[in-house]
Amino acid sequence: MQTTNTVDLGNPDLYTTLERHARWRELAAEDAMVWSEPGSSPGGFWSVFSHRACAAVLAPSAPLTSEYGMMIGFDREHPDNSGGRMMVVSDHEQHRKLRKLVGPLLSRAAARRLAERVRTEVGGLLDQALDGGVCDVATAIGPRIPAAVVCEILGVPAEDEDMLIDLTNHAFGGEDELFDGMTPRQAHTEILVYFDELITARRKEPGDDLVSTLVTDDELTVDDVLLNCDNVLIGGNETTRHAITGAVHALATVPGLPAALRDGSADVDTVVEEVLRWTSPAMHVLRVTTADVTINGRDLPPGTPVVAWLPAANRDPAEFDDPDTFRPGRKPNRHITFGHGMHHCLGSALARIELSVVLRVLAERVSRVDLDREPEWLRAIVVQGYRELPVRFTAR
């Protein structure tokens, strides 16, 4: 274990090129623990990078909490106002209650029911892309599929999907100049206003969607329902879109992958896991210590913010052979893309179904995918995402 001081790791300029992977790989290999002085976070924070250390910080038994916030910028003295009310920033009984309410609509069974909707959505998008022109997957395909799925779960009318995609872009990609017309805080406010109107409609006329499920629970306030709709919308959209874009990136750059998926020599489910590891869209998760704890040999008092960098853990050479290479048949593949412990992503089954359908449909209908030029990356610290991925699809 090595403890070092370095630049502010909450600076989004550090993550706009592939140099980020070299930096993360070195820090993971050293099992480093790094302190970032106050800057992007008012009180500073510690960071861990290795697979072992990230899993330990996120473990259910670890004396750390998400209730002060889950992203750089929050800490015990500067907490997230949603703490203890929104599922992703709640612990213990409240977290279990919310998972029990939301879980059935995001379960493996629900994902299987939605698979045909995903197939229809992918087919329609490919119809538009297979015209021989350049398709920017990061804008034309990646966001559309998870948005359609999440909006159906929430009971959002199809005509509102484009607006909500735009708002989620601003909510999670707010540091990038693509989204400088609105701050993340403004985007979240707009999302909450939208769901406030939808909640009013569902109280009068409930359906079988998530909003209706939440509003019928007498223990949840309207604000609780709003916050958790925001949580599901953004969580379901913003990370999966980049994994889907990354799947197309892999099809364009991994030799023989489209043909291997088509003839069955590459197992789709195994490839999905490698897409999740290789893209690792959720960039970091923050926790705050609740008791004296030793992490990587350093004693930390209660109230200390600690950040686990998931892409670094997912390319830790101690856990993954040749970690920067996309290996379609990689087994075992103990990635922590969806987190670890009680906060393991509730939408993981949905994300896996969406990715498997995308890969299958592309393999069926496309003989090759060619990069038009190298991708551009978002200037962001919450998601490791594609700003642009221009490709050409060749139909079979």
Contact indicator for 395, 365 with CB cutoff of 8 Å: yes
pLDDT value, residue 1: 61
The DSSP string of 261-306 is: HHHTSS-HHHHHHHHHHHH--B-EEEEEESS-EEETTEEE-TT-EE
Contact indicator for 25, 312 with CB cutoff of 8 Å: yes
Whether omega before 79 lies within 30 degrees of 0, making that bond cis, reads no
| Averaged pLDDT, groups of 10, the chain, 396 residues long | 74 96 96 96 97 96 96 96 91 89 84 89 91 89 90 88 79 61 80 89 90 91 88 85 97 97 97 98 97 96 98 98 98 96 88 96 95 96 95 94
pLDDT value, residue 213: 92
Question: Which ranges of the chain would DSSP assign to H, the alpha helix?
Answer: 19-29, 51-58, 92-106, 108-129, 137-140, 144-154, 161-172, 184-204, 210-215, 222-253, 257-263, 268-279, 310-313, 348-365
pLDDT value, residue 229: 87
* Cα gap 304→62, rounded to integer Å: 13
> 131-137: long-range contacts at Cβ-Cβ below 8 A with a sequence spacing of 24 or more?
132/392, 133/392, 134/372, 134/390, 134/391, 134/392, 135/390, 135/391, 135/392, 135/393, 136/388, 136/389, 136/390, 137/244, 137/245, 137/248, 137/249, 137/386, 137/389, 137/390, 137/391
pLDDT value, residue 176: 62
pTM of the shown model: 0.93
| Strand-pair category, 2-5 with 32-36 | parallel
